[in-house]
Chains A and B, each alone.
Chain A
Amino acid sequence: MYGLEAIQAHNGWAVAVVGITIVFTGLVVLSLIISQLHKVLDFISNPNKFEVFRPANVEPADKKDEPVEEVPSFTGAQMETARQYRMLARTLEDEFLLPKLLNLAVISGVDKPHANLGLLVRAGVITPDGQGFFQWNQDAFDRIIS
């Protein structure tokens, strides 16, 4: 006895269905575990973030570190332009004149020089010193670019 007949005789179809079901169930369970893995890792690295495990008087870490002012988000192109601005700012004094930096950016062909300069100021990467000059804030730049 060979072929389909043999499969039929030894419950081959049922065995195949059970096998397929076991494999697919296993894959579904595995994918669910992987999809939720980030929560487990997040909990391990920062248990205070979860209310159940947090003492009553402790604020969640991300809320505590939350800046008072909203920091604008940068697209990939804006990050690239920020890097170009950093290079241009390095050619100037530590305290530089903002119109001079803008002119350099325009001459150098930086993409959307005005808008990107405004974005950098709003993000605190370029900060005023109160005397009409501006400074490059490397920490703020690193936070945005990293």
Chain B
Amino acid sequence: MTDIKSILQSSELFKDLADQDLGALVSMCEKRMVLAGDPLAQPGHEAEFYYVLIRGVLMIAMADDRALVLATPGDFAGLELASEKGKYISTLTVLEDGEVMAVPRAEFLELIRSAPEAGQTILNAWLACIDRQASFLSPGDSTLETV
């Protein structure tokens, strides 16, 4: 079994989190097996979960069909990449069998809000990730209230 904490620590997004914040994040994660072709999110549906990739390959397709492939353990499908005003805005499809960590959206956002230092660390890393992998998203327009 892959250790959730070690995956999060290897993730660009969460590697700089303090041990306590990382522990809080681990406690809210739920590990799930996923199969090729599984839809994890569909536009318009209630955005209940964000996902952290453990192994496998995921594709995030935006409304205009522009897409992003997540294939590195620790990659994150969440925030403005996945949702807007509590609804999914993109299609998240499993390309290769694997495992993901499902992170409840509401609890995740609450963690960011309630622990400002952790929140800032995550958001800074997130902006860097988006800038490098999906600059077409212009994340500057989004805030925690809009996702």
Contacts and interface: CB of A to CB of B under 8 A. Distances in A.
A119 B97 CA distance: 11
Contacts of A118: 36, 56-57, 59, 69, 71, 95-96
B71 A121 contact: yes
A121 B69 contact: yes
Interface string B7-22: 0000000000000000
A90 interface: no
- State the majority secondary structure of interface residues on A: helix
B101 to A, nearest CB: 19
Bin chain B's interface residue count: 20 to 34
B91 A99 contact: yes
A97 interface: yes
Nearest to A133: B66
A115 B69 contact: no
A97 B91 CA distance: 14
Interface string B30-58: 00000011000000000000000000110
Contacts of B135: 130-131
A128 B97 CA distance: 21
B133 interface: yes
B96 A115 contact: yes
B106 interface: no
Contacts of B68: 128, 132
A83 interface: no
A113 B95 CA distance: 8
Contact of B65 (A97, A113, A115): A97
B95 A97 contact: no
Given A102-B93, A118-B96, 7 more contacts: A97-B67, A114-B93, A118-B57, A118-B69, A121-B57, A122-B57, A128-B67
Which 4 A/B pairs are nearest by Cβ-Cβ distance? A132-B66, A118-B95, A118-B57, A118-B96
9 contacts: A97-B65, A97-B66, A98-B65, A112-B36, A114-B37, A121-B69, A130-B136, A132-B62, A133-B66
